[in-house]
Chain A
């Protein structure tokens, strides 16, 4: 059990480009979450998967954002046509089967900088 793994750790892109982040949750964790954190703020919820089903999306998740979790294992978060306001830390978290959201385990995040 190596914890939640996120790649890449850092991404620098130009405005208008597309970016994709990957999250590998802790093995056998069936719930997976994406959060966004900007400097000086707490994480904000983006979306949530139970197995391969995306069950909830925040209003923060505009049409330019899409997340997938094929086969209920790893997940990807894609941002199309990036804007400077998308610059943030994107955090992935997972929780074990049978436990509630009170036991979330976070990865180290992907720091996105949009120039």
Chain B
């Protein structure tokens, strides 16, 4: 079993829609969770990170961690065509990050 599991999609939504991206994790020992955005032929870009459980909001983006179900979520409000990218969830290990496979999102104008 991989440390972090993520539905690869792809996911297509109309502009302005609310997007929900989800991951599950297996190891409760490490408590930092990250969301990265990756455009084609580029490296991942850190969007936001949360520690332990709860919500964190940054503009149109909200990250949520539910420790009881080992669930990580990213919500994007008022989605824009520029949000079209692959979104990667990640969890810290001792000295590295464990990534999900990434969900490819397309926002249709």
A101:B95 contact, CB within 8 angstroms: yes
A70 at the interface (CB under 8 A from B): no
Return the contact of B43 from the options A42, A44, A91, A102 (Cβ within 8 A): A91
Q: Is B97 positioned at the interface, with any CB of A under 8 Å from its CB?
A: yes
Map CB proximity to A onto B96-109 as digits: 1 under 8 Å, 0 otherwise.
Answer: 11111110000000
Which chain A positions have C-beta within 8 A of B98?
45
B:39-58 near A, CB below 8 Å: 41-46, 49, 51
- Quote the shortest CB–CB distance from B98 to chain A (angstroms): 8
**Considering only CB atoms and an 8 Å cut-off, how many residues of chain B contact the other chain?**
27
**Contacts A103-B46, A103-B49 known; A44 to B99 CB distance under 8 Å?**
yes
B96 with A42: CB separation less than 8 A: no
Please classify the interface of chain A as helix (H, G, I), strand (E, B), loop, or mixed, using the class held by over half of its residues. Answer: loop
Q: Which residues of A come within 8 Å of B, CB atoms?
A: 4, 33, 40-45, 48, 55-56, 58, 91, 93, 100-109, 111
| Interfacial residues, chain B to chain A (CB-CB below 8 A) | 4, 6, 8, 32, 34, 36, 41-46, 49, 51, 88, 90, 92-102
Known: A4-B43, A102-B32, A109-B42. 7 other contacts (CB 8 A): A40-B101, A55-B95, A56-B96, A102-B92, A103-B49, A108-B41, A109-B43
